[in-house]
Amino acid sequence: MKNLDDLLSEGVRGRCVLVRADLNVPLDGETITDDGRVRASLPTVRKLTTAGARVVVTAHLGRPKGAPDPQFSLAPVARRLGELLDTEVALAGDVVGPSARSVVGELSEGSVALLENVRFDPRETSKDDAERRALADELVALVGDDAAFVSDGFGVVHRKQASVYDVAQRLDGFAGGLVLSEVDVLRTLTGDPERPYVVVLGGSKVSDKFGVIQALLPKVDKLVIGGGMAYTFLAARGYDVGDSLLQHDQIEATRRLLDEHGGKLVLPVDVVAADRFAADAETRVVSTEAIPAGWQGLDIGPRSVELFAEILGGARTVFWNGPAGVFEFAAFAEGTRGVARAIVDSDAFSVVGGGDSAAAVRALGLPEDGFSHISTGGGASLEFLEGAELPGVAVLEGKG
């Protein structure tokens, strides 16, 4: 897989380089609440601008329905990217239309332009190969046949989309530093990790992570379960979980996992229960066997934190994906904080699997350098660990 250094050795001064970045940041109105993904894109963009490339960045934000939608505009991202680069980043008003052509045409050496949200064009995510290819052709026409393509949005490499996959079949493709480092780290986990190897999975739904749980159980020493999906596991053990989040259709499959791998699966022993889903709800710490009727578990309890921390303290390799509770509410953040702190305090090679986990690290004020690697792509990380082929990586390796 050719990388950014290979491209730079060829020389890029004056050439257009199309960079697919992952700039899908959380917004409160037009305010970015976590700019981690923007910051993660900086090293690749800076290397290209320093080398004199004309950098054209394409990215998505949220899930617009294939049409322009002001609430999903990349305007706040363009402003923040410009602030961090200490230069103006021109934002095109469309994806491949007149504004994009004008903005790209005016780019000078070492400057950066950002195309508007690529998902404003329905062809980006189309299941129809011809439609995606048509958009890819227009992106190539925008930057020119002599342009290069740098894939640096790890959070989207598991998607077969026009700006991720089809463009790489038309332009000389290179892995950006971010994608390269992500793949290298995850291959460490899927190869021969140092043991004990502990995986911590949280989040809301068992169904979202059932595949990766099945794939990981034969490979790990312990798999620790937290978050909303823990209640389906607890129900499979026969516990009454009150009004906690529960996937009834997953109970039988989850019970089979417990029967087959019960020695490896570690569940909470207590929870912080609430009388309603609200930041100011009445709370009480209860055993997982004694969740009151009408109440719901919204975080793991202190004894669970101690149990999980003891396991993590002895680990040599850790992968964590998914918060232990509703960390956005202060009353239910201590479980996630406790798990994260235990990982930081361990001597393990530790990987945070993107998404809400990475956001929690920053939101809870934990030291990012306390982890060996914080991924920018939760879904991509999980699919990689599950053993799925990632289209955006395969195409760079010549397999697409």
As annotated, the active-site residues are: 37, 205, 355, 379
What gap in Å lies between CA 66 and CA 232, rounded to an integer? 35
DSSP string, 6-75: HHHHH--TT-EEEEE------EETTEES--HHHHHHHHHHHHHHHTT-EEEEE---S---SS--GGG-SH
354 is in an annotated binding site: yes
- Is 18 annotated as a binding-site member? no
119 known ligand binder? yes
Would you say 307 is a known binding-site residue?
A: no
CB atoms within 10 A of CB 277: 13
Q: Is 63 annotated as a binding residue?
A: yes
Q: Is 60 annotated as a binding residue?
A: yes
**Is 321 one of the annotated binding-site residues?**
no
Q: Which long-range contacts (CB under 8 A, 24 or more apart) does 144-148 make?
A: 144/16, 146/15, 146/16, 147/15, 147/16, 147/17, 147/18, 147/56, 147/171, 148/7, 148/10, 148/12, 148/15, 148/16, 148/17, 148/18, 148/172, 148/173, 148/174
> Which residues partner with 270 through β-bridges?
287
Q: Is 356 annotated as a binding residue?
A: yes
3-state helix, strand, coil in the chain (%, to 5): 45, 15, 40
Report how far residue 31's alpha carbon sits from residue 34's, in angstroms, rounded to the nearest whole number. 9
355 assigned to a ligand binding site: yes
- Residue 256 assigned ligand-binding role: no
297 is in an annotated binding site: yes
Q: Which of 226, 166, 221, 155 is nearest to 382 (CA)?
A: 155
Determine whether the annotation assigns residue 176 to a binding site: no
284 assigned binding-site residue: no
Q: Which DSSP helix (H) or strand (E) runs through 256?
A: helix 251-261
Annotated binding residues for (2R)-3-phosphoglycerate: 37, 119, 159
Which positions make up the binding site for ATP?
209, 297, 328, 354-357
Annotated binding-site ranges for substrate: 22-24, 37, 60-63, 119, 159
